[in-house]
């Protein structure tokens, strides 16, 4: 078992794409494939399965990933002793959901890359409800979640920015002309939301149920962009974070309805595994995220 095979395995496990892993490692794709096959032959198990066009870790692959991550962390720790932190190099894997990736992380990535251009950044978009598992499986170093304040005995969780959610509609929507709304005004309306299982969708449902409305018509989407475009097309009322719809509101394509959703406290939160060694690379990234998010928080 060679060190380069373990590094290749970690990169494939992070990207779940042989071609992308080859780009990150500066290999040709066939080299990555051969290294993974040699590793699987030596271990006597399959580490990855192909489900259609999607590459996934097998159960054995997930177990192996956790232990290999620990081994490579120790190696990174040893390397950091003999390297100047101003010239960091290595690989960092970040995961977040679609909203945080599009509207919060680009500025963080830019600041971090300006300081450490030799560090390879791997980003994976992961549904909000699956992000914690990537930390436990060792397929991400740091994740960003959009949720109520999270408490976990196995994870370090740091709230960064409170996110304001609003109801948005097209300017010609009947409710967009109103300066005050009552609960009964929403009867018969179609709400454009994320799918069930999304934390803030659950909070949305809970807030309306508290007010006695339990027969809401939904159109459910996986994408915030799809929700936004359907609201612009007057299909219904969108439930979204303010950061997602800011540009459309400025252009007059959407209007924020005069309705505050009660008891909705959602934060962009940064998290990592409690038992993970925080290398200089990870610590520097965490600090960059804190700096950028502090500026964003002041704008809210």
Q: Where are the alpha helices (DSSP H) in 83-213?
A: 98-103, 105-115, 131-137, 199-210
Q: What pLDDT does residue 215 have?
A: 60
pLDDT at residue 247, rounded to an integer: 93
Rounded Cα distance, 84 and 77, in Å: 13
pLDDT in tens, the chain (300 residues): 788 888 888 888 888 888 888 888 888 889 999 999 999 999 999 999 888 778 889 989 888 887 887 777 777 666 665 555 556 778 899 999 889 999 999 999 999 999 999 888 888 888 888 898 888 877 889 999 998 888 888 899 999 999 999 999 999 999 998 889 887 788 788 999 887 777 778 878 877 776 666 566 788 888 899 999 999 999 999 999 999 999 999 999 999 999 887 777 889 999 999 888 888 889 999 999 999 998 877 776
Instruction: Name the CA dihedral angle for 153, 297, 197, 260, rounded to a multiple of 10 degrees.
Output: 130
Q: What's the CA gap between 181 and 258, in Å, rounded?
A: 6
pLDDT for res 84: 54
Q: Show the beta-strand stretches assigned E in 139-264.
A: 142-147, 155-163, 165-169, 190-194, 217-221, 237-241, 255-256
pLDDT score, position 79: 65
pLDDT of residue 145: 93
Between CA 172 and CA 234 the distance in angstroms is: 8
Task: Supply the DSSP string of 253-268, one letter for each residue.
Answer: S-EE-S-PPTT--EEE
Looking from the CA of 168 toward its CB, the CA atoms found within 13 Å total: 31
- All structural domains of the chain, each given as residue ranges with its CATH number in brackets, are 3-81 (1.10.10.10), 90-162+266-298 (3.40.190.10), 165-256 (3.40.190.10)
> What's residue 160's pLDDT?
94
pTM attached to this predicted model: 0.71
């Amino acid at each position: 078992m060679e060190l380069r095979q373990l590094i290749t395995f970690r990169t494939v496990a992070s990207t779940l794409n042989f071609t992308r892993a080859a780009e990150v490692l500066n290999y040709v794709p066939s080299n990555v494939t051969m290294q993974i096959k040699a590793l699987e032959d030596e271990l006597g198990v399959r580490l990855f399965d192909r489900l259609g066009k999607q590459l996934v870790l097998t159960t054995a692959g997930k177990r192996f990933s956790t232990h290999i991550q620990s081994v490579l962390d120790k190696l990174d720790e040893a390397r950091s002793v003999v390297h100047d932190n101003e010239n960091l190099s290595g690989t960092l894997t970040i995961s977040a959901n679609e909203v945080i990736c599009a509207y919060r992380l680009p500025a963080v990535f830019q600041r971090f890359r300006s300081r450490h251009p030799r560090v390879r950044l791997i980003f994976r978009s992961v549904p909000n409800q699956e992000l914690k598992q990537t930390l436990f499986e060792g397929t991400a170093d740091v994740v960003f979640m959009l949720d109520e304040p999270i408490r976990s005995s196995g994870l370090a969780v740091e709230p960064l920015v409170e996110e304001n959610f609003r109801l948005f509609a097209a300017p010609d929507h009947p409710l967009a002309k109103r300066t005050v709304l009552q609960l009964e005004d929403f009867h018969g309306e179609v709400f454009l939301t994320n799918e069930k299982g999304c934390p803030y969708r659950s909070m949305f449902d809970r807030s309306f149920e508290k007010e006695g409305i339990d027969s809401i018509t939904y159109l459910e989407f996986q994408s915030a962009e799809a929700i936004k475009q359907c609201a612009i097309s007057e299909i219904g009322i969108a439930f979204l974070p303010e950061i997602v719809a800011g540009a459309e509101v400025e252009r007059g394509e959407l209007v924020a309805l005069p309705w505050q959703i009660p008891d909705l406290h959602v934060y962009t939160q940064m998290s990592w595994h409690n038992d993970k060694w925080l290398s200089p690379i990870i610590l520097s990234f965490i600090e960059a995220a804190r700096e950028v998010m502090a500026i964003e928080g002041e704008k809210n």
